[in-house]
């Protein structure tokens, strides 16, 4: 039997950040006058959290299928980061190369490994010419060609400080979660 993979597994696909303002995340209710902390927390648990959790499931489905329409606000296009699957040759080297990197640095490197372009990002943004990835000692790391570091710098132009860090970690996690159970998958 031939196993058919979703389009995002076999070719380039789009990532949309969990923090993108175009996503139709449910809004938490406002606190009512005189409502105690415990009552408000109970109301969040009862009324809001199930809606948030259902939206998170819908977002996961959208990421798997590439159909983001059901999770977007009307008339507000998202920023789409066009990426490719990380090739098996990179996955083979990945664990060794990132062993001494922080989670933020790993996420940034994952983005540099797969980013092809972005739609709705900073004006004039382009990925630029690929460069050989070097390890901390300045030697070729074995990952091969990656996007230049300027790609990551653009996140700090579009957002600031912790917001940029969270965006990088979010996109990096989406990329790394596609690895599957073994190298190259």
81 SS3 class: strand
pTM more than 0.85? no
From residue 57, give the alpha-carbon distance in Å to each of 46, 127, 171: 18, 31, 17
The Cα 48–Cα 159 span in angstroms is 28
The Cα 172–Cα 183 span in angstroms is 17
**Percent of the chain residues past pLDDT 90, beyond the cut:** 60
pLDDT in tens, 135-176: 877 888 888 899 999 999 999 988 877 899 999 999 999 999
Boundaries of every domain in the chain: 13-71, 80-179
pLDDT in tens, 92-112: 899 999 998 999 999 999 999
The Cα 118–Cα 72 span in angstroms is 18
Of 21, 25, 156, which is closest to residue 77 (Cα–Cα)?
Answer: 21
The residue-averaged pLDDT of 67-77 equals: 91
Do β-strands 131-134 and 140-146 pair in parallel, antiparallel, or remain unpaired?
Answer: antiparallel
């Amino acid at each position: 039997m031939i196993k058919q993979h979703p389009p995002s597994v076999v070719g380039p696909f789009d990532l949309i950040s969990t923090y993108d303002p175009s996503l139709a995340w449910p809004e938490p209710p406002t606190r009512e006058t005189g409502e105690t902390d415990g009552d408000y927390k109970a109301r969040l648990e009862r009324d809001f959290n199930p809606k948030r959790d259902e939206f998170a499931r819908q977002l996961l489905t959208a990421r798997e299928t590439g159909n983001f329409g059901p999770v977007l606000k009307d008339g507000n296009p998202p920023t789409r980061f066009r990426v490719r699957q990380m090739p098996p040759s990179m996955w083979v080297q990945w664990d060794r190369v990132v062993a001494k990197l922080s989670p933020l640095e790993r996420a940034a490197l994952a983005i540099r490994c797969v980013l092809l372009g972005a739609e709705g990002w900073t004006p004039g943004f382009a990925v630029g010419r690929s460069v050989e990835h070097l390890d901390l000692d300045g030697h070729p790391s074995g990952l091969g060609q990656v996007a230049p570091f300027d790609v990551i710098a653009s996140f700090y132009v579009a957002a600031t400080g912790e917001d940029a860090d969270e965006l990088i970690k979010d996109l990096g996690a989406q990329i790394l979660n596609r690895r599957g159970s073994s190298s190259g998958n």
